[in-house]
Structure 1
Amino acid sequence: MKSPDRAAAIAAALTVIEQDADDRGWNARPTLFGLFDIAPHRHAPWIGVRELPVDEGVWQLHEHIVPGLRLPYWVGLKAITKHLTLPHTVTALRRWACGDSGALIGMAFLCEGGDTDAASTVHPDGVPVRVLIGCDSDDRQYQVLRVRGAASTTTTVLDSPPAAVRDTVVPQCLRRLLSCARA
């Protein structure tokens, strides 16, 4: 059975991640995060967050493919996912996941602008949106959105995301990373 307390704890942790990003300002590179169950007991979920180290140059590579054209960040996420889940590199992903941070229970991807197919990342008025998408081991999907300049965010938690949401690139990558890291 899916724990609503765990879902609430993960949503709260994702909100803190996005607030930290907002406090640092806009125009940051994308970031991948692991979500870890660090509760001393099962009755009160407590979520720890750790960044998955990704060379910043990976996010810049797509900017140089066609001068003046920037490919979406999910293209880089897809390449990272493919690389980290290969037989000869998955060990490094598993080592990262098995640190002293508790059990890995989710993955999240933070990016800005119109760079993801998983959410509308440009406000109808053309204002950029920061999106934080997460998936957990209970097959939930999370999304935290902030329109640039807004004082608050919009958070969505889907216990059973429909295929139209679940099968987009970012959630697929996050679920694949989570599955390989936990194996």
Structure 2
Amino acid sequence: MRSRHRAAAIVAALTAVDHAANAQGWDALPVLLGLFDTTIHRHQPRINADELGIDPALWWLHSQTVPGMRLPYWVGLKAITAHLTAPDTPPWLTRRAPFGHRRLAGLAFLAEGLDTSETGRRDAAAHGLSANPDGTPVRALTACDIDGRHYQILRIRGSATTTTVVLDDPPALVRATVIPTCLRRLLTAARD
């Protein structure tokens, strides 16, 4: 599949994941997804997004800390990444029989959280939502593909619309953030 067609197919797959998450409602645990190229005909590119089996207990790390203190879900993603990319760990994706011989095209991380930035509060207000100082509930679907692209779909709780960003050549500030860094490390480990 050619690169620009792959990007469009990944956006379509991520949009479907966001719609499914929105239909299920809020307060869900995070999901780590593999984006697999299942293209049969080169003029009809297709990417499937399949959940990778992560123990749900890992996402509840915040309940094992000081009461009232919640760790963000990316802490769990960092722990998964450290474990799966350790030198003594066998290739992790090849051990997953349900995925067979499909080609890995990217990885995605879907998680809910609070956007406490000024931009997040302005976005909430623009959608007619109260911009409370503790943060705006946001669902973020972040992905990286084998071509180095960065994808993000953001949905503010209560909004019918999303914001989608695709960066063909993400700037250093984006590449250095925790979730894209983890996804890239996992992609590299899966391809080795």
TM-score surpassing 0.5? yes
User: Aligned partners of 2:37 and 2:101: how far apart in 1?
Assistant: 8
8 Å Cα contact 1:133-1:143 kept in structure 2:
yes
User: Aligned partners of 1:96 and 1:4: how far apart in 2?
Assistant: 28
**1:161 matched to 2:144:** no
Cα offset, 1:95, TM superposition? 2.2
Q: What amino acid is the match of 2:92?
A: A
Runs of 4+ in structure 1 over 2 Å off: 41-44, 87-101, 119-124
8 Å Cα contact 2:91-2:189 kept in structure 1:
no
8 Å Cα contact 1:18-1:132 kept in structure 2:
yes
* Alignment partner, residue 10 of structure 1: 10
Are the structure 2 counterparts of residues 104 and 20 from structure 1 closer, same or farther at C-alpha, using a change threshold of 3 Å? same
Cα offset, 1:89, TM superposition? 2.7
* Alignment partner, residue 61 of structure 2: 61
Aligned-CA RMSD value: 2.4
8 Å Cα contact 2:61-2:71 kept in structure 1:
no
8 Å Cα contact 2:35-2:49 kept in structure 1:
yes
Are the structure 2 counterparts of residues 98 and 138 from structure 1 closer, same or farther at C-alpha, using a change threshold of 3 Å? farther
Unaligned regions of 5+ residues in structure 1, if any?
none
**1:143 matched to 2:114:** no
**1:132 matched to 2:160:** no
TM-score (norm 2): 0.86
- SS of 2:99's partner is coil
* Alignment partner, residue 173 of structure 1: 182
Alpha-carbon deviations, 1:132-160, whole Å to 9, x = none?
A: 00000000000001110111111110000
Are the structure 2 counterparts of residues 101 and 145 from structure 1 closer, same or farther at C-alpha, using a change threshold of 3 Å? farther
User: Aligned partners of 2:90 and 2:77: how far apart in 1?
Assistant: 15
Q: How many residues align structurally?
A: 181
User: Aligned partners of 2:98 and 2:150: how far apart in 1?
Assistant: 23
Percentage of identical aligned residues = 55
Structure with higher Rg: it is 2
Unaligned regions of 5+ residues in structure 2, if any?
126-130
User: Aligned partners of 1:47 and 1:174: how far apart in 2?
Assistant: 17
8 Å Cα contact 1:94-1:182 kept in structure 2:
no
TM-score (norm 1): 0.90
Larger mean Cα displacement after TM superposition, 86-95 or 10-19: 86-95
Cα offset, 1:97, TM superposition? 8.2
Cα offset, 1:23, TM superposition? 0.5
Alpha-carbon deviations, 1:61-120, whole Å to 9, x = none?
A: 2322121100111111000100111233343333228832610010000000128x9x96
